């Protein structure tokens, strides 16, 4: 089975490739010569994932899946949420985003948060979504060199280390994207 993962984020692509079974050939947007920015104009994480999957299916004809992820901080009423990648501006800079979040969270004692990933699968003319959530908390400073995005300031429940301090294998076991992708793969394995 050949399927496109609709992302330009090489970190996400590498993370997901480690989860996909051998009988599924994972193609990137580069593999299908999709070089444009895929629109993400929906007001929800689910909406953006669906929009991206439908865009690739409609414009390129490939079965595909797309994901969207947001970090939802309880004290900030779910911010940055759907705007996680552009929280500090259109430059999509992870350090700027983390700095803004840490600054906005300073007055609050409650640092609980969750990462939420929705994967939208467009396959054989049908659309299906899979959601993964990882609860945890935001640290007061950055720790670790692994991972990407907000990983240096997020500790999953039951962990003393941030996502940027644990291995990719461990993160895939407990993390939001890993949970959503495992649900996707379990579904694909039933076909």
DSSP string for residues in 72-132: EEGGGTT-EETTGGGTT-TT--HHHHHHHHHHHHTT-S--EEEEEEEEEEEETTEEEEEEE
Residue 151 DSSP class? G
Mean pLDDT over each residue of the chain, to the nearest integer: 94
Contacts of 123 (CB under 8 A, 6+ apart): 3, 63, 65, 191
Identified catalytic residue from 22, 68, 74, 96: 68
Q: What is the mean pLDDT of the segment spanning 163-175?
A: 92
Q: What are 20-74's pLDDT values in tens digits?
A: 888 888 999 999 999 998 999 999 999 999 999 999 999 999 999 999 999 999 9
Written as one string, the DSSP assignment of 101-116 is HHHHHTT-S--EEEEE
Q: What are 116-161's pLDDT values in tens digits?
A: 999 999 999 999 999 999 999 999 999 999 988 999 999 999 999 9
CA angle in degrees (0–180, nearest 5) for 177-181-184: 150
User: Does 96 qualify as catalytic in the annotation?
Assistant: no
**Distance between CA atoms of residues 183 and 36, nearest Å:** 28
- Report yes or no on whether pTM surpasses 0.85: yes
What pLDDT is recorded for position 116?
A: 97
């Amino acid at each position: 089975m050949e399927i496109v993962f609709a992302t330009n984020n090489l970190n996400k692509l590498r993370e997901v490739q480690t989860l996909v079974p051998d009988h599924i050939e994972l193609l990137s947007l580069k593999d299908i010569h999709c070089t444009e920015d895929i629109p993400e104009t929906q007001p929800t994480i689910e909406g953006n994932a669906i929009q991206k999957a439908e865009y690739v299916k409609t414009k390129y004809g490939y079965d595909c899946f797309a994901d969207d992820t947001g970090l939802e901080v309880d004290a900030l009423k779910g911010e940055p949420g759907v705007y996680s990648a552009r929280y500090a501006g259109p430059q999509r800079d992870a350090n700027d985003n983390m700095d803004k979040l840490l600054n906005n969270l300073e007055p609050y004692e409650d640092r609980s948060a969750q990462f939420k990933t929705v994967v939208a699968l467009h396959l054989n003319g049908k659309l299906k979504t899979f959601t993964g959530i990882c609860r945890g908390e935001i640290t007061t400073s950055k720790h670790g060199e692994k991972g990407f995005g907000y990983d240096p300031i997020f500790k999953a429940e039951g962990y003393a280390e941030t996502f940027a301090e644990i291995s990719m294998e461990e993160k895939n076991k407990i993390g939001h994207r890993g949970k959503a992708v495992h649900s996707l793969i379990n579904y694909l394995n039933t076909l």
